[in-house]
Amino acid sequence: MRRWNGWGDEAIEHHLPILAEKYLEGYLGEVLPESDVSLEDVLSSVPSSRLHPHPLILDNPEVRLRHARGQSLPDWIALRSGHIGYFPDGVAYPSTEDEIQTLFSYCQQTGACLIPYGGGTSVVGHINPNQSDTPTLTVDLSRFNQMLNLDKTSSLATFGAGVTGPNLEEQLNIRGYTLGHFPQSFEYSTLGGWVATRSCGQQSYYYGRIEDMFAGGCLVAPTGSIDLSPFPASAAGPDLRHLILGSEGRFGIITDVIVRIKPFPESEEFYGVFFHDWESGLAAVKAIAQSNIQVSMLRLSDAQETQVTLALAGKERLVSIGTKVLDILGYGQDKCLLIYGITGRKADVGKFRSTTARIIRQHGGFSTGKIIGDKWQKTRFFTPYLRNTLWEAGFALDTLETAVSWIGVQSMVDKVKETIENALRSEDEKVFVFSHLSHIYQHGASIYFTYLFRRSTDPEQTLHRWELIKTAASQSIISLGGTISHQHGVGYDHAPYLYQEKGNLGMQTLESIRMSFDPNRILNPGILFADAPEHKDKN
């Protein structure tokens, strides 16, 4: 069964190697882990529903609890402490567009607001009910999970928007196809959620981001529906697909999605490479990206993340021997790890591997073959489980990300890491931070920061520490010209910074569009726009 207060299947554990735990305690200090509140205690605190009864709506406490929060660190603090605050007043599981329209009518008649719910994997607060006298209905789209059409001639497939990553790939793979969209949340996130938040998969350099895959589909809004045909190209005015991409539930509910698919690849290989330092690795991945080599992914870790990766490998003796060999070869404490993948036809994979290897050698890279790459591929969706283990050991972990053109990559890495490291000085606490380039483009890169700090015995204090880090880092990103979100969307957490990125006229334009789709502000209040629901109970 899925965890109610953490990541993933509760039967799966990711053990923290002793070496890694000692490494973290040595840097951050001794931890004093506190026990989490029990499911039974939280269920006893769920208030009565404020919604009028309806045959499509469930109001039992556990269903409401399991839809109350996502996967952000504030969500974890709330769930683990039992200080959840606000719950949806009911949860509906529609299976048709007519039922969705019925739920819209119900909200308009009763004054309730409505939150679309995909896989519940948001790390920036997309699905959380806010503080309001207005009751909240969460609409779970998990029943929209089937392949509706496969057009082999056009390489197009239509799915219900609630299909999860594994289910989608299973339905395609047995027919010889793949979408190739693999975010770290792949295990539970949904196709509709990917579109609504402009998601980016780990192998986007080959398969593309979700906006490259999104060919059309249907969005149902309180004022009507938009059906988008999968034209190969069109000059008929602005592309309405981009009103749905990144809309985060403010304009309507995505019910089905048409995606561009590819034949299942003949070959796929992942490799690990060590560089002497960050600068040489950065130069290498930039050269690969700008040479138009069709790699499927490039992930360059800084020295700190490289050390953590080796410490978490769990093979202490093997890692020790490998580290000594690398030291002898001149790859010391500053070494940085690149994991790259090549995907496609066998003939192309061989050609691109040779070209990539040549550029790597030119920049002093040392290839370890496929051992590290294969290990990464096998465990890439297992890594999020480590958050559970770290929390239980007394450490809070969170991430943030941005993207910037090549000219700004180095200063962004340096400044944001420095900002995060110093964010808790007023608390006399240290923060351990590391980073990697997660997605590479011809004109720039996305930068992914991971940071850990000791959690307090007081959950409010732990939340305060997170707020200090998140605010300082976000302000640094904006000041350096980076986007506030490369792949996680906006949600509540990034809403204060969206105005700076879009400008007043841009935000006014988005607000005008929202008014056309949802004039009564039923949908997902507080997301994208820092507002609150304005409609009142009409009974």
pLDDT digits (tens, 9 = 90+) for 398-431: 999 999 999 999 999 999 999 999 999 999 999 9
pLDDT digits (tens, 9 = 90+) for 351-366: 999 999 999 999 999 9
| Encoded tokens for 495 | 């809403």
CATH 2.40.128.20, applies to 147-263: no
Work out whether strand 267-275 and strand 336-344 pair parallel, antiparallel, or are unpaired: antiparallel
Quick check: 10 pLDDT over 90? yes
pLDDT (0 to 100) of residue 530: 65
R_g over Cα of the chain: 23
pLDDT (0 to 100) of residue 537: 36
Residues 6+ apart with CB under 8 A from 450: 305, 397, 398, 399, 433, 434, 435
How far from each other are the two terminal CA atoms of the chain, in whole angstroms? 39
Cα–Cα distance for residue pair 398/375, rounded to 1 Å: 23
Numbered ranges of CATH 3.30.465.10 in the chain: 147-263
Least confident of 34-38, 164-168, 210-214: 34-38
Q: CA separation (Å) from 248 to 38, 99, 116?
A: 31, 20, 9
267-379, which class in CATH? alpha beta
Q: Give the pLDDT band of residue 314 (cuts 50, 70, 90).
A: low
pLDDT (0 to 100) of residue 315: 67
pLDDT (0 to 100) of residue 531: 59
Q: Give the pLDDT band of residue 529 (cuts 50, 70, 90).
A: confident
The residue with tokens 């726009």 is: 529
Q: C-alpha dihedral over 336, 479, 451, 487, to 10 degrees?
A: -80
Quick check: 533 pLDDT over 70? no
Residue 51 gets which letter from DSSP?
Answer: S
Region 195-200: mean pLDDT is 97
Numbered ranges of CATH 3.40.462.40 in the chain: 267-379
Residues 6+ apart with CB under 8 A from 229: 216
Quick check: 321 pLDDT over 90? no
pLDDT digits (tens, 9 = 90+) for 63-75: 999 999 999 999 9
pLDDT (0 to 100) of residue 538: 34
Q: CA separation (Å) from 321 to 291, 318, 324, 325, 512?
A: 35, 5, 5, 6, 62
Q: Which strand (E) or helix (H) includes residue 515?
A: helix 495-517
Region 527-531: mean pLDDT is 77
pLDDT digits (tens, 9 = 90+) for 142-185: 999 999 999 999 999 999 999 999 999 999 999 999 999 999 99
pLDDT digits (tens, 9 = 90+) for 468-491: 999 999 999 999 999 999 999 999
In a 3-state reduction of DSSP, which class is residue 243?
A: helix
DSSP one-letter string for 190-222: BHHHHHHHT---TTHHHH--HHHHEEEEEEEET
Cα–Cα distance for residue pair 457/455, rounded to 1 Å: 7
Question: Mean pLDDT across the chain, nearest whole number?
Answer: 94
DSSP one-letter string for 158-178: EEETT-BHHHHHHHHHTTTEE
Quick check: 19 pLDDT over 80? no
Phi, psi of 159 (to 5 degrees): -130, 155
Q: CA separation (Å) from 73 to 8, 76, 397, 507?
A: 15, 5, 7, 27
Quick check: 534 pLDDT over 70? no
Q: Classify each residue of 389-428 as buried b or exposed e, where b means 16 or more C-beta atoms within 10 Å of its C-beta.
A: bbbbebbbbbbbbbbbebebbeebbebbbebbeebbeeee
Quick check: 536 pLDDT over 70? no
Residues 6+ apart with CB under 8 A from 391: 6, 76, 80, 397, 455
Q: Classify each residue of 90-119 as buried b or exposed e, where b means 16 or more C-beta atoms within 10 Å of its C-beta.
A: bbbbbeeeeebbbbbebbbebbbbbbbbbb
Quick check: 442 pLDDT over 60? yes
Chain centroid offset of residue 339 CA: 20
Cα–Cα distance for residue pair 295/205, rounded to 1 Å: 7
pLDDT (0 to 100) of residue 310: 84
Q: Please, what is the Cα angle at 143 between 196 and 8, to 5 degrees?
A: 70
Cα–Cα distance for residue pair 120/190, rounded to 1 Å: 9
